[in-house]
Amino acid sequence: MVNWSKIDTTKLDPDFYAKAQGVLNACLAHGCEYQPYLGFRSWDDQNALYQRYLAGGPRASPPGHSLHEQGLAVDCERIVNGVGSWAVEDYSMLEAQAQVFGCDTGWSYGDHDHLSIDGH
């Protein structure tokens, strides 16, 4: 079973949440466990992340331009042997299953852990 305990799923768009559940459950059925760790973000939260990005931190969209602010995206950590992995190759199953369920990932722009509604 996918562990959603790190995020407030009530703040996710219900249609996206259903698709994301399908993606992550399919990944698990193929032996790849992913745990969502970031979901909805407020404008202030997004702005703080964007300011960190401008200062040299990890990629983040400007406030008002992130699907996280609309409840249409989650970031997922790949769990390997009970430990989080950020190796790019550990995210290929997420990319494959996202396409099956009408979702998208940040694969094309290097944000491998990002899962969102298709077309964004």
Q: What is the CATH number of the domain that holds 20?
A: 3.30.1380.10
Evaluate whether residue 4 is within a structural domain.
Answer: no
Percent of the chain with pLDDT over 90: 89
pLDDT digits (tens, 9 = 90+) for 24-53: 999 999 999 999 999 999 999 999 999 999
Give me the number of domains the chain comprises. Answer: 1
Note the pLDDT of residue 24. 98
pLDDT > 60? residue 19: yes
Residue whose pair of structure tokens reads 């190759």 in the numeric block: 89
Evaluate whether residue 56 is within a structural domain.
Answer: yes
- The verdict on pTM exceeding 0.75 is yes
pLDDT > 70? residue 119: no
Q: Which domain holds residue 13?
A: 9-117
Residue 12 burial by CB count (10 A; 0-12/13-18/19+): exposed, middle or buried?
buried
Neighbours of 28 (CB within 10 A): 16
Note the pLDDT of residue 120. 53
Residues facing residue 92 across a β-bridge: none
Evaluate whether residue 1 is within a structural domain.
Answer: no
Evaluate whether residue 2 is within a structural domain.
Answer: no
Mention every residue, 6+ apart, whose C-beta is less than 8 A from residue 70. 13
